Amino acid sequence: MTGPVLDTIRDCFEGVVPALLATCDRNGVPNVSLISQVHYVDPGRVALTYQFFNKTRQNLTTTRIAAVSVFNPADLIDYRLVLEYEETQSAGPIFESMKAKLAGLASHSGMQDVFRLQGADICRVRSITAMPGVAEPQPQVRNLLSGVRTTFGDLAKGSELGELCDCALACLRDYFGVGHAMVLMLDAAAGRLFTIASIGYAMSGVGSELALGAGVVGVAARESVPIRIGHMTSEYSYRSTIRAQARHRGLDSPPATEIPYPGLPAPESQIALPLVADGRVLGVLFAESAEPMRFRYDDEDALALVAGRLAELILASQPDEPSSTQHQPDRLAVAATGQRVVVRHYQVDDSIFLDHDYLIRGVAGAIFWKLACEYVRNGRGEFSNRELRLDPALRLPEYAENLEARLVLLQRRLCERSTIRMERCGRGRFRFVVPGTLVLDEVAAGGAR
């Protein structure tokens, strides 16, 4: 029978029971202390939190050997690990992942003013020994591997960005028991993430934005690493992030052009998985729960696989765009009957209001304004992705999925906020459908019309 391996005892590292860390100095004088977090790095390594320069830390960096006792809350077994110190990392994915988790643990135990991560001490695991005891395995709530396989099968049926994101979120709900989740896409040029799909919230929040580096989503995108918190802390909460963003702009409340972020009012657990494909972060798959410690290491692995697959499919779904000579844009007679909608475009930030109601801004706003102008002035109702991509006035970011994400965002905001529709009519083409009359009102940067 083989001994325990690191992968199978990862519940020990959730911080439910504090770990014990023993070291010796060069003269063999022992030292023992509790340690906030032992973090699973890979099948051969863990990382210890370095918070203060104390005797433990001095011994660890001098002798490079430590003994750790970790208690597994799942099977109630005490495991002893012998560790060999390798290096300290004070930035990067492992550090950020530990920092977020430590902030959660600190907040949970009232130590938020004390616990501050200075470094992640990376250690190789020399041995793992299970202490005698009767293991009491917890009943398995769900089969994550089966959930991943079924999700991959469902995702394979999707063919475009919006559909893929909706499918991934439905799979999280149906196969992983995740009640609240969203997909956010990254606008790398603007350093922001915007929601393009969500599930489980009273309001979809499509179009709501977060800054890169803010909250678990922003850190996951910036560092390209999963971020997971089992006890929520204000340091990573969106409500405080959003308040801070408003304060930064000198505002007491969010402006009218800010779409409310949909998140749970009091989440305890959050997980953010970067959507990485072709070596780039495209966005973030995010899930949350009011239940503490809802997402464990195994959940992180499963959802990371889903996120990776979703990212690959998003890239692969970018339409092969026909050249402009193959398809001439249709000319449609503009319906002059029905509802009259005033479209106001503010040049300063490309924000769009439909009859005084905010719709969208930024690149998606500029796209809408172009569609509306073409529709009203030239009677056009059909457009290709390619012509939008080639239009220098739209200032599109570099990658194909950026346009696609804006189109999904715009399409969804229109569905939520108006009767205007954008309907697909072939690969890389869509129809702009207006059940009435549009009246254009452009406001220049200085306020002139």
Partner 1 sequence: MPVRGTEDKILTPDVVSFCESGVSIAMSSCDEYGNPVVGRALGCRVDGSGKVRLVLRTEANQEVLGAVDCNAGLAVTFTQPSTHRSLQLKATCARFLEPDPSDLSLAEQRAAALKVELIADGFLAAFAARYCAFDPGQLAAIEFVPTHAFVQTPGPGAGNPLRP
Residues at the interface with partner 1 (CB under 8 A) = 17-18, 20-24, 28-34, 36, 51-52, 54-55, 59, 63, 65-69, 71, 73, 76, 78, 80, 82, 109, 111, 114-115, 131-133, 136
Q: Which is nearer to partner 1, 125 or 371 (CB)?
A: 125
Q: Which is nearer to partner 1, 102 or 414 (CB)?
A: 102
Q: How far is the CB of 114 from partner 1 (least distance, A)?
A: 5
Q: Which is nearer to partner 1, 85 or 286 (CB)?
A: 85
Residue 436 pairs with which residues in a beta bridge? Answer: 339
Q: How far is the CB of 24 from partner 1 (least distance, A)?
A: 5
Q: Which is nearer to partner 1, 51 or 385 (CB)?
A: 51
Contact 295, 104 (CB under 8 A): no
Task: Find, among 23, 120, 20, the residue nearest to 63 by Cα.
Answer: 23
Q: How far is the CB of 17 from partner 1 (least distance, A)?
A: 7
Burial code of 8-25, b = ≥16 C-beta within 10 A, e = fewer?
ebbbbbbbeebbbbbbee
How many angstroms separate the Cα of 307 from the Cα of each of 55, 146, 195, 342, 431?
42, 16, 15, 40, 30
Contact 236, 219 (CB under 8 A): yes
Q: Which is nearer to partner 1, 22 or 332 (CB)?
A: 22
- Burial group, residue 407, by CB count within 10 angstroms (0-12, 13-18, 19+): buried
Q: How far is the CB of 137 from partner 1 (least distance, A)?
A: 13
CA 105, 108, 111, 116 dihedral sign is positive
Give the count of beta carbons closer than 10 Å to the beta carbon of residue 68: 22
**What is the 8-class DSSP label of residue 248?**
H
Q: How far is the CB of 236 from partner 1 (least distance, A)?
A: 21
Q: How far is the CB of 222 from partner 1 (least distance, A)?
A: 28
Helix residue ranges, H only, 179-331: 215-223, 238-248, 297-316
**Residue 88 identity:** T
Q: Which is nearer to partner 1, 51 or 198 (CB)?
A: 51
Q: Which is nearer to partner 1, 71 or 399 (CB)?
A: 71
Q: How far is the CB of 76 from partner 1 (least distance, A)?
A: 5
Q: Which is nearer to partner 1, 108 or 345 (CB)?
A: 108
Q: How far is the CB of 118 from partner 1 (least distance, A)?
A: 12
**Cα first-last separation, the chain:** 80
SS (H, E, C) 376-418: HHHCECEEEHHHHHHCHHHCCCCCHHHHHHHHHHHHHHHHHHC
Q: Which is nearer to partner 1, 128 or 302 (CB)?
A: 128
Task: Find, among 432, 345, 342, the residue nearest to 388 by Cα.
Answer: 432
Contact 309, 219 (CB under 8 A): no
Q: How far is the CB of 83 from partner 1 (least distance, A)?
A: 10
Q: How far is the CB of 5 from partner 1 (least distance, A)?
A: 20
In this structure, what are the phi and psi dihedrals at residue 322, rounded to the nearest 5 degrees? -65, 150
Contact 49, 117 (CB under 8 A): yes
Q: Which is nearer to partner 1, 111 or 203 (CB)?
A: 111
Which residues, 6 or more positions from 254, have their beta carbon under 8 angstroms from its beta carbon? 242, 246, 260
